């Protein structure tokens, strides 16, 4: 008892000291959901920042490109100004020298040598809607030669404001050309300085010549539209018409178009990588935070489960303790009752013995001739027998005795019991003992007490009369001894409690008979089984080992 309650306390303490001895079950579902949600949220946040920073970088890149494109435009403008200056110098020389061919030739030669133009000429309105070359320097402009239509149209446009005009790209003898002209003021008929350049496939762009623009690709068109026919120059492999920015710029009186792309990021490398950095940073932060939250949540859940488990253990321990306490109280009560039973038993044993003797002597003196006397004597003897059985039960209950084994003849003990406790009137007794029954190994007086209890219970079960059958049979080295009656049977709820001390359903019962019988049979290493046949009777079977029959007897 006590060790039991101590054990459970020790168990509880031990369990608390080693929490991983039986880890509580983990419920992962909600934890996974929360940390996964957090991860997605943070990852989405990182992705969003990366996207918007990418937009900012792109925007910055575009603005830088725009700025660079304005710079390139300004450079072309400068080239235009130098061209215009060269043409103006020609114009001034012609005016001052009254169109001296030699003077013009040396001026034009300088311009051709500086590669500002491929060829230069003085051209004059021929009065028939065309122009003729008066003098020329450089290839492709022979004196007196006719000028192609696009050139004539451009020459006609040149005005007295001194600005130079340019022709669109035109083709002569399969060669793409470009021309520029300024009007020489104050001369009649209209006389102009005309410069011309041949466009070759290998024309390199200023962006390549100038390291400042090495990170740009692009193309320049004569005119304000993207038109492959009007392509003046481009960087190698530049996809015509697919530049990132288009910037018109002024060249003399005309507007040309510049188309540009950056061949690598114009913003700093760090800035260009910023979105990726944000994305990676965001993902790392998401993983880190989600992992941290997951760990914390799991810890919390683990702790909660542990508390739950420990609380359960505590409750169980308390319940055990409670049961133990109740059992203790019960045992103590039984012990007190036992003491009382012992005292009463001892006090009653002797007077009952004396009463038994008195009845014996009376029967001897009065004889059995008078039925009335016989009836009174039988009643007295039966009641003394019942009282003696109760006293025996009380004593056996209060001080259980170890059986002293001997060979007991079954028929003899049945006879003795039926003699001591004869059936009341109205009850018939049938004995069905198998022939050649071996003796039982038992404590004779204890077995007698067991049988007396079963028989007296059977009598009690049949107040209106009936049949009691005492049966004995040999089964597998044991003897089954059954007392069956035709009484009211045993109620279902009473069946499991039959062998409890003090369990009784009788108004005058004390409930010790079966509990004592059961204890005695168990002390013999045998068994006592109760069976109820519904409302038509009950039977109790004692099974005890049989004594080995000596071989000599069998022969
Ligand atoms: N042959 C039987 N038929 C029906 N009920 C029985 C029989 N034997 C015992 N019982 C039930 O078992 C209870 C306990 O029996 P027992 O321990 O002998 O105590 P008591 O006879 O003093 O009641 C009885 O009160 C009765 O309800
Ligand atoms: Mg009884």
Secondary structure (DSSP) of 352-392: HHHHHHHHHHHHHHH-S--HHHHHHHHHHHHHHHHHHHHHH
The number of the ligand 1 atom at minimal distance from the alpha carbon of 515 is: 17
Predicted local distance difference test score (pLDDT) of residue 271: 79
- Ligand approaching nearest to the C-alpha of 488: 1
Q: Which residue among 460, 508, 520 is best mutated to probe the pocket of ligand 1, counting the most ligand atoms within 8 A of its Cβ? A: 460
- Taking the centre of ligand 2 as the mean of its atom positions, its distance from the CA of residue 511, in whole angstroms, is 6
- The pLDDT score that the predictor gives to residue 211 is 53
Q: Calculate how far, in angstroms, residue 408's C-alpha sits from the geometric centre of ligand 1.
A: 26
Architecture of domain 400-549: 2-Layer Sandwich (3.30)
469 lines ligand 1 (CB under 6 A): no
User: Which residue's CA is the closest to the ligand 1 atom numbered 5?
Assistant: 490
Query: What ligand is nearest to the CA atom of residue 516?
Result: 1
Atom of ligand 1 nearest to the CA of 505: 25
Q: Which residue among 387, 421, 427, 457 is best mutated to probe the pocket of ligand 1, counting the most ligand atoms within 8 A of its Cβ? A: 457
Ligand 1 contacts CB of residue 504 (under 6 A): yes
Q: Which of 458, 464, 514, 530 gets mutated to test ligand 1 (max ligand atoms within 8 A of its CB)?
A: 514
In this prediction, residue 201 carries a pLDDT of 62
The number of beta carbons lying within 10 Å of the beta carbon of residue 466 is 19
Ranges in the chain annotated CATH 3.30.565.10: 400-549
Q: Is 393 a pocket residue for ligand 1 (Cβ < 6 Å)?
A: no
Q: Is the CB of 306 under 6 A from ligand 1?
A: no
For residue 530, report the distance from its CA to the centre of ligand 2, in Å.
13
Q: Which of 470, 389, 371 is nearest to 425 (CA)?
A: 371
Phi (first) and psi of residue 133, to 5 degrees: -80, 125
Which atom of ligand 1 is found nearest the CA of 510? 22
Rounded-to-5 percentages of helix, strand, coil across the chain: 55, 20, 25
Q: Which residues contact 87 (CB under 8 A, 6 or more apart)?
A: 120, 164, 180, 181, 182, 193, 195
Whole-number pLDDT of residue 552: 39
Ligand 1 in reach of 424 Cβ (< 6 A): no
CB proximity list for 189: less than 8 A, separation 6 or greater: 124, 125, 126, 127
Where are the CATH 3.30.450.20 domain residues in the chain? 53-262
Ligand 1 mean position, distance from CA 384 (Å): 20
Residues 6+ apart with CB under 8 A from 312: none
Strands (E), 323-464: 406-408, 427-433, 440-442
Sign of CA dihedral 498, 501, 506, 510: positive
Euclidean distance between CA atoms 240 and 238, whole angstroms: 6
Q: What is the pLDDT of residue 527?
A: 96
Q: Does ligand 1 lie within 6 Å of residue 537's CB atom?
A: no
Which ligand is located closest to the Cα atom of residue 498?
1
Q: Which ligand sits closest to the CA of 491?
A: 1
Atom 25 of ligand 1, nearest CA residue: 504
For residue 506, the CA-to-ligand 1 centroid distance in Å is 8
Pairing of strands 466-475, 427-433: parallel
Ligand nearest to the CA of 458: 1
Give all strands (DSSP E) within 253-362, no chain letters.
Answer: 254-262
List the pLDDT tens digit at each of the 555 positions of the chain: 333 333 333 333 333 344 444 555 555 556 578 888 888 888 898 889 889 988 988 888 888 888 888 888 888 888 888 888 989 998 999 899 988 888 899 988 988 888 888 899 999 988 888 888 988 888 888 887 778 888 999 998 888 888 899 999 999 888 899 999 999 998 888 999 999 988 876 555 544 445 556 788 888 999 999 998 899 888 888 888 888 889 898 888 889 999 988 887 777 777 778 888 888 988 998 899 989 988 898 899 899 999 999 999 999 999 999 999 999 998 898 888 888 888 888 899 999 999 999 999 998 888 778 888 888 888 899 899 989 999 999 899 888 899 999 999 999 999 999 998 999 989 999 999 999 899 999 999 999 999 999 999 999 999 999 999 999 999 888 999 999 999 999 999 999 999 999 999 999 898 999 999 999 999 999 999 999 988 899 999 999 999 865 443 433
| SS3 state of residue 237 | coil
- CATH-assigned architecture of domain 53-262: 2-Layer Sandwich (3.30)
Strand order in the sheet with 427-433: 427-433, 466-475, 478-484, 538-545, 527-532
Q: Give the separation between CA 48 and CA 36, rounded to whole angstroms.
A: 18
How far away, in angstroms, is 450 Cα from ligand 1 center?
13
Taking residue 555's Cβ as centre, other Cβ atoms within 10 Å add up to 5
Q: Which ligand ends up closest to the CA of 504?
A: 1
Query: Does the CB atom of residue 538 touch ligand 1 within 6 A?
Result: yes
Distance 396 CA to ligand 1 centre (A): 18
> 351 CA to middle of ligand 1, Å?
27
Burial of residue 447 (number of CB atoms within 10 Å: 0-12, 13-18, 19+): buried
Give the pLDDT confidence score for residue 297 in this predicted structure.
87
> Is 137 buried (19+), middle (13-18) or exposed (0-12) by CB count in 10 A?
buried
Residue with CA at minimum distance from ligand 1 atom 7: 457
Ligand 2 centre to CA of 363 (Å) is: 28
Classified as helix, coil or strand, 345 is helix
Q: CA-CA distance, 463 to 459, in Å (whole number)?
A: 7
Residue 204 CB neighbour total at 10 angstroms: 12
**Are the beta carbons of 459 and 414 closer than 8 angstroms?**
no
Q: How many CB atoms lie within 10 A of CB 232?
A: 23
Question: Can you give the pLDDT at residue 98?
Answer: 85
* Cα–Cα distance measured from residue 342 to residue 319, given in angstroms and rounded to the nearest whole number: 34
């Amino acid at each position: 008892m006590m060790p039991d309650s101590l054990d459970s306390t020790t168990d509880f303490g031990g369990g608390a000291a080693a929490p991983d001895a039986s880890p509580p079950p983990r419920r992962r579902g909600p934890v996974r959901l929360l940390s996964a949600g957090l991860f997605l949220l943070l990852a989405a946040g990182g992705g969003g920042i990366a996207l918007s920073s990418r937009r900012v970088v792109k925007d910055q890149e575009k603005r830088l490109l725009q700025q660079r494109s304005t710079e390139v435009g300004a450079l072309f403008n400068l080239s235009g100004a130098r061209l215009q200056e060269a043409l103006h110098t020609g114009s001034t020389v012609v005016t001052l020298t009254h169109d001296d061919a030699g003077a013009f030739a040396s001026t034009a030669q300088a311009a051709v040598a500086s590669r500002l133009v491929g060829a230069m000429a003085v051209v004059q309105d021929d009065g028939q809607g065309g122009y003729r070359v008066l003098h020329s320097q450089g290839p492709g402009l022979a004196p007196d030669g006719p000028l192609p239509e696009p050139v004539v149209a451009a020459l006609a446009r040149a005005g007295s404001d001194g600005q130079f005009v340019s022709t669109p790209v035109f083709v002569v003898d399969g060669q793409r050309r470009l021309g520029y002209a300024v009007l020489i003021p104050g001369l009649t008929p209209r006389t102009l300085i005309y410069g011309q350049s041949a466009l070759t496939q290998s024309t390199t762009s200023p962006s390549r010549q100038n390291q400042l623009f090495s990170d740009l690709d692009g193309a320049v068109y004569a005119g304000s539209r993207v038109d492959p026919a009007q392509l003046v120059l481009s960087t190698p492999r530049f996809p015509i018409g697919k530049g990132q920015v288009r910037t018109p710029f002024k060249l003399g009186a005309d507007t040309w178009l510049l188309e540009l792309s950056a061949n690598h990021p114009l913003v700093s490398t760090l800035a260009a990588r910023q979105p990726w950095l944000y994305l990676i940073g965001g993902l790392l932060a998401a993983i880190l935070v989600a992992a941290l939250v997951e760990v914390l949540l799991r810890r919390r859940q683990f702790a909660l489960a542990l508390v739950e488990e420990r609380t359960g253990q505590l409750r169980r321990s308390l319940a055990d303790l409670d049961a133990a306490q109740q059992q203790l109280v019960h045992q103590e009560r039984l012990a007190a009752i036992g003491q009382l039973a012992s005292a009463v038993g001892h006090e009653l044993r002797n007077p009952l013995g004396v009463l038994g003797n008195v009845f014996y002597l009376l029967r001897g003196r009065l004889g059995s001739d008078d039925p009335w006397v016989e009836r009174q004597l039988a009643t007295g003897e039966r009641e003394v027998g019942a009282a003696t059985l109760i006293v025996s039960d009380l004593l056996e209950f209060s001080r259980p005795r170890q059986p002293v084994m001997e060979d007991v003849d079954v028929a003899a003990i049945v006879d003795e019991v039926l003699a001591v406790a004869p059936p009341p009137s109205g009850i018939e007794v049938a004995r069905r003992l198998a022939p050649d029954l071996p003796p039982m190994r038992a404590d004779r007086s204890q077995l007698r007490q067991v049988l007396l209890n079963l028989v007296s219970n059977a009598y009690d079960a049949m107040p209106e009369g009936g049949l009691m059958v005492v049966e004995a049979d040999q089964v597998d080295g044991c003897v089954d001894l059954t007392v069956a009656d035709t009484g009211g049977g045993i109620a279902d709820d009473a069946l499991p409690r039959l062998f409890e001390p003090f369990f009784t359903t009788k108004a005058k019962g004390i409930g010790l008979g079966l509990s004592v019988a059961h204890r005695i049979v168990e002390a013999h290493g045998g068994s006592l089984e109760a069976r109820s046949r519904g409302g038509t009777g009950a039977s109790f079977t004692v099974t005890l080992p049989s004594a080995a029959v000596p071989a000599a007897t069998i022969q």
